[in-house]
Chain A
Amino acid sequence: MSQQLTQKVDVELPAQSVIPRARPALRWLMLAVGLVVVLALPWFVYPPVAMDIAAWALFAISVDLLLGYTGLLSFGHAAFWGASAYSTGLIAIKLGMPFPVAVVGGAVVAMLLAIPTGYLAVRRTGIYFAMVTLAFAQMLYFLANMWGDVTGGENGLQGIPKAFFGVELVETDAFYFYYAAIPIILIGVFIAWRIVNSPFGRVLVAIRDNPARARALGYDVERYKIMVFVLSAGLAGLAGGVFSISHGFASLQELVWTTSGKVVLVTVLGGIGTLWGGPIGAAVVVLLEDRLASSGFNGIGIITGTIFIVIVLAFRHGIWGTARNGLTSWLNRRRIKTGQRL
């Protein structure tokens, strides 16, 4: 199939598209740098914190799939992160499964929960969509709180093992655990990248920019929204599962509405509509919280909140969006100077 496609002659497109995208060479370079950073991270950052950054990065990417690429603000994504955190923990504890299997199981639970939620939520847009997702997340929160026999209630679900085919280093040492778990995060990021750069991703952007036109072209907008909602929940689930395995417990903190708010903050801070934004926002927020917490400071929320407001006001496209725009215009200016065609 792809054989046949590559044989087709590409039509030369005369006028340059105004959509800013880095050139392929630059993209590969960025990818290489990104991978090196990911692999080197636990050498420079306390390994459990490095794992938190990775999990939150994927969590933010899952939110961006909705917010940046489809134009949907989910204000209840903790539901999927948290549901998977608990499910992953339960699978690991009760069934003694290796942790990657447990994490995948948790992600599946998250996706199953997302089907009815998505179905209800996509009938609404804007703030009403956010409200439906929030209401659903709150419901899960109360269920988890009530259902203490299974979830551990206020105490959380304790003693989640890091079973990994008897490899003791991974099961006991956070440094090695990072390298065993990071492929799950990277696979999640790859899935997001694949979705964004697929025909489906093209339709999502069309829906984001002009849903009525997409419908007139024959695209079933609600169905696409449900699909991306479920896919997004799956990615949030992978992230939440890795997070709870890494910590060895799942608590109500994973389901509470401030977690939903925090992930939106991380996403917007990093820059929406770009897969690099989530990881950058996650690195900033998680590292900052870690520094503030270890210095014994109590008003973490105030500091992160203030930084959030400042960045969003000063750089509307988030950290990555602003950096990228700056880089592209700098490159363009250079190309003009050196006489190259734009």
Chain B
Amino acid sequence: MPAEATAAPLLETRSLTKEFRGFRAVSEVSLRVAEGTIHALVGPNGAGKTTLFNLLTGFLAPSSGQILFGGDDITGKQPEQIAHLGIARSFQITSLFDQMSLVDHLELALASPTGMGYRFWRSNAQLRRFRDRAMELLDEVGLGDRAGQAAGSLAYGQKRALELALALALDPRLLLLDEPTAGMGLEDVDRTIALVKKVAAGRTVVFVDHNMHVVGSLADTVTVLQSGQVLAEGTYEQVRNDERVITAYLGQAGDAHV
């Protein structure tokens, strides 16, 4: 496993900081994510994990610090620009188009890089050219038999799976997953782990999860955040034996899952 590659990292943050009216949700975070690795971001509620994702994807502008992707400074870019650069994300709080069918979701995602969305003079039957790939992706996340259903009618765990499929549809170099298994049953958790492993081939993944089973099974590197700061970093084994981490996080919430 190319855990600590010596090559330049695919994603790097330099003293990344986000303040909300003086409150530091993310504080001086310097992160290096090597290309081709799976990187877990863990930490108690309110540690700043989602805020960090929002900074990385342009949904929030950092108060200070820098974000580098593939060596380029992408600080201050807009979400849609970042998506086109090859960073796709899923949302912790499921964020879908409730009235749209699943297959329409995937077609929309697949059409995004082609610029087809601007064609107001063409029939939307054009989007059908993406249907085969859309169905493949839905099958991959186990939603193939619900393709025509509206997203709003899905169960919570299924919505999580659709989130994942949407991010995958963008075929990103860097995949950011915010709690991909939250609210899933054991079986779905295991399928998601297998799926993330599979899609991680040839990409880099950063994910947030409270489930230590998921973290342990997937992560090459784990970064522990607390109060917006990096508390520890290393392999799963290293991190879970780190005393500061045990007191801060695993000791209270995590042990049950380990």
Interface residues of A (CB under 8 A from B): 2, 5, 8, 10-11, 13-19, 194-195, 197-203, 205-206, 209-210, 212-213, 215-221, 224, 227, 231
Contacts and interface: CB of A to CB of B under 8 A. Distances in A.
Given A217-B108, A224-B118, 20 more contacts: A5-B128, A13-B148, A17-B149, A17-B150, A18-B99, A18-B150, A18-B152, A198-B119, A199-B111, A199-B119, A200-B117, A209-B98, A212-B59, A216-B57, A216-B79, A216-B95, A218-B83, A219-B80, A219-B112, A220-B78
B177 to A, nearest CB: 12
Given A202-B117, A206-B108, A209-B99, A218 B84 contact: yes
Contacts of B166: 217
B104 A202 contact: yes
A312 to B, nearest CB: 21
Interface residues of B, number: 52
Contacts of B129: 5, 8
Contacts, number: 137
Nearest to B107: A202
B125 interface: yes
B109 A200 contact: no
Given A5-B125, A8-B129, A205-B97, A200 B118 contact: yes
Nearest to B169: A217
B89 interface: yes
Given A216-B83, A217-B109, A218-B170, A10 B131 contact: yes
B100 interface: yes
B97 A195 contact: no
Given A198-B119, A199-B116, A199-B119, A18 B149 contact: yes
Nearest to B58: A215
11 contacts: A8-B132, A11-B132, A14-B145, A194-B121, A197-B123, A203-B117, A205-B97, A205-B99, A217-B166, A218-B170, A227-B118
Contact of A11 (B84, B104, B112, B147): B147
A202 B127 contact: yes
A231 B119 CA distance: 12
B146 interface: yes
Given A218-B112, A218-B113, A11 B79 contact: no
A18 B100 CA distance: 9
A8 B83 contact: no
Contact of B83 (A15, A201, A205, A215): A215
B87 to A, nearest CB: 10
A8 B130 CA distance: 10
